[in-house]
């Protein structure tokens, strides 16, 4: 073989390069389609609502008849069924019901919960406890707001 003939024969390089590019494009397309078909893509968009919450309290040092009010100050509306309130680690309100001996006034708490809606929780021995508002929707959950009472 002559050296000149080798340098002019570059058809094989074009074929190999074309096959490599086609395989790469096929793998990328398969990954993108597989992500959405298997539902992995939908999990990436499930995030907590963007809303501002305010707490006001009337905590009695004698540990009786204390109240905490949770106000949806602004932001997105939130389904009431996705919210849970805990006080000192114990559930005080969930699924539209009062829990663990707390008394709840949810007359001004809509479904969905929108700006200016408020939830009033009454109970004993709330001084110094952490109040947390949780949001959960399926496998996702987050703390929307929290505050220490007292």
What pLDDT does residue 28 have?
Answer: 93
Q: What is the pLDDT of residues 72-107, one digit of tens each?
A: 999 899 888 889 999 988 999 998 888 888 888 888
pLDDT (mean) for 114-143:
87
Q: Is a pLDDT exceeding 90 seen at residue 25?
A: yes
What pLDDT does residue 127 have?
Answer: 81
Answer with the residue of higher pLDDT: 116 or 124: 116
What pLDDT does residue 72 have?
Answer: 92
Provide long-range contacts, Cβ within 8 A and 24+ apart, for 127-131.
127/59, 127/60, 127/61, 127/63, 127/66, 129/87, 129/88, 130/86, 130/87, 130/88, 130/89, 131/55, 131/68, 131/70, 131/85, 131/86, 131/87
Q: What is the pLDDT of residues 41-58, one digit of tens each?
A: 555 555 788 889 999 888
Answer with the residue of higher pLDDT: 17 or 42: 17
pTM of the model: 0.66
């Amino acid at each position: 073989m002559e050296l000149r003939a080798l340098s002019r024969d570059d058809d094989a390089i074009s074929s190999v390069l074309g096959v490599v590019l086609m395989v790469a494009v096929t793998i990328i397309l398969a990954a993108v389609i597989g992500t959405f078909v298997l539902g992995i893509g939908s999990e990436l968009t499930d995030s907590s609502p963007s809303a501002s919450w305010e707490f006001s309290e009337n905590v009695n040092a004698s540990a009786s008849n204390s109240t905490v009010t949770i106000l949806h100050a602004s932001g997105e509306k939130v389904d009431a069924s996705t919210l849970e309130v805990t006080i000192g680690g114990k559930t005080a309100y969930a699924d539209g019901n009062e829990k663990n001996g707390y008394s709840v006034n949810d007359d001004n708490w809509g479904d969905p919960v929108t700006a200016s809606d408020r939830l009033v929780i009454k109970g004993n021995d709330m001084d110094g406890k952490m109040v947390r508002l949780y949001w959960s929707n399926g496998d996702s959950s987050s703390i929307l707001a929290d505050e220490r009472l007292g």
